[in-house]
Amino acid sequence: MNIVILAAGMGKRMNSDLPKVLHPLAGKPLLGHVIDAALSLSPSKLVVVYGHGGEKVRTAFAQTEPPIQWALQSPQLGTGHAVAQAVPFLDDGQPTLVLYGDVPLVGQATLQRLAEAAGADDLALLTQVMPDPTGYGRIVREGGRVVKIVEQKDADPQTLQLQEINTGILIAPTARLKTWLSELRNDNAQGEYYLTDVVAAAVRDQVAVNAVHPLALWETLGVNSKTQLAELERQHQRNRALQLTEAGVTLADPARIDIRGSLQCGRDVSIDVGCVFEGKVTLGDRVKVGANCVIRDASIGADAEILAMSHVDGALVGVNARVGPFARLRPGTDLGPDSHVGNFVEFKNARMAAGSKANHLAYIGDAEIGARVNIGAGTITCNYDGANKHKTVIEDDVFIGSDTQLVAPVTVRRGATLGAGTTLTREAPPDVLTVSRARQLTVPGWQRPVKKR
SS (H, E, C) 264-333: EECCCCEECCCEEEEEEEEECCCCEECCCCEEECCEECCCCEECCCCEEECCEECCCCEECCCCEECCCC
* 83-107 average pLDDT score: 96
pLDDT digits (tens, 9 = 90+) for 64-87: 898 899 999 999 999 999 999 999
Residues of the chain with CATH 2.160.10.10: 226-434
Nearest to 50 by CA among 20, 29, 23, 25: 20
Rounded distance, CA 262 to CA 88, Å? 36
| CATH architecture of the domain formed by 226-434 | 3 Solenoid (2.160)
Reported as a pLDDT band with limits 50, 70 and 90, residue 368 is very high
The predicted model scores a pTM of 0.91
**Looking at the predicted structure, is the pLDDT value of residue 286 above 90?**
yes
* Crossing angle of the two packed helices 79-86 and 174-182, in degrees rounded to 10: 130
Rounded distance, CA 6 to CA 193, Å? 14
Which one-letter amino acid corresponds to residue 101?
Answer: G
Rounded distance, CA 187 to CA 158, Å? 21
The pLDDT value given to residue 99 = 98
Reported as a pLDDT band with limits 50, 70 and 90, residue 187 is confident
**Looking at the predicted structure, is the pLDDT value of residue 122 above 90?**
yes
The pLDDT value given to residue 440 = 87
Nearest to 295 by CA among 275, 271, 312: 312
State how beta strands 340-343 and 322-323 pair.
Answer: parallel
Nearest to 169 by CA among 105, 230, 257: 105
Residues of the chain with CATH 3.90.550.10: 2-220
What length is written for the chain?
Answer: 453
The pLDDT value given to residue 190 = 85
The pLDDT value given to residue 278 = 98
Rounded distance, CA 445 to CA 120, Å? 102
In this structure, of 54-63, 378-387, 421-430, the range with the lowest mean pLDDT score is: 54-63
The pLDDT value given to residue 188 = 84
In this structure, of 134-143, 335-344, 359-368, the range with the lowest mean pLDDT score is: 134-143
Tell me the HSE value of 437 on the side-chain side, using a 13 A CA sphere: 16
* 416-422 average pLDDT score: 97
The pLDDT value given to residue 189 = 80
Q: Computed from CA positions of residues 236, 237, 238, 240, in that sequence, does the dihedral angle turn out positive or negative?
A: positive
Nearest to 364 by CA among 336, 344, 386, 385: 344
Provide the annotated active-site residues.
Answer: 360
**Looking at the predicted structure, is the pLDDT value of residue 21 above 90?**
yes
* 306-335 average pLDDT score: 98
| Cβ atoms within 10 Å of 250's Cβ, excluding its own | 13
pLDDT digits (tens, 9 = 90+) for 250-268: 999 999 999 999 999 999 9
**Looking at the predicted structure, is the pLDDT value of residue 409 above 90?**
yes
Q: Which residue has the higher pLDDT, 64 or 358?
A: 358
Write the DSSP assignment of 189-226 as a string of letters.
TT----TTHHHHHHHHTT--EEEE--SSGGGG----SH
The pLDDT value given to residue 140 = 94
Per-range mean pLDDT, top range of 9-18, 21-30, 438-447: 21-30
The pLDDT value given to residue 333 = 98
Q: Any idea which fold 2-220 has?
A: Spore Coat Polysaccharide Biosynthesis Protein SpsA; Chain A (3.90.550)
The DSSP secondary-structure symbol of 429 reads P
The pLDDT value given to residue 437 = 87
Rounded distance, CA 390 to CA 407, Å? 9
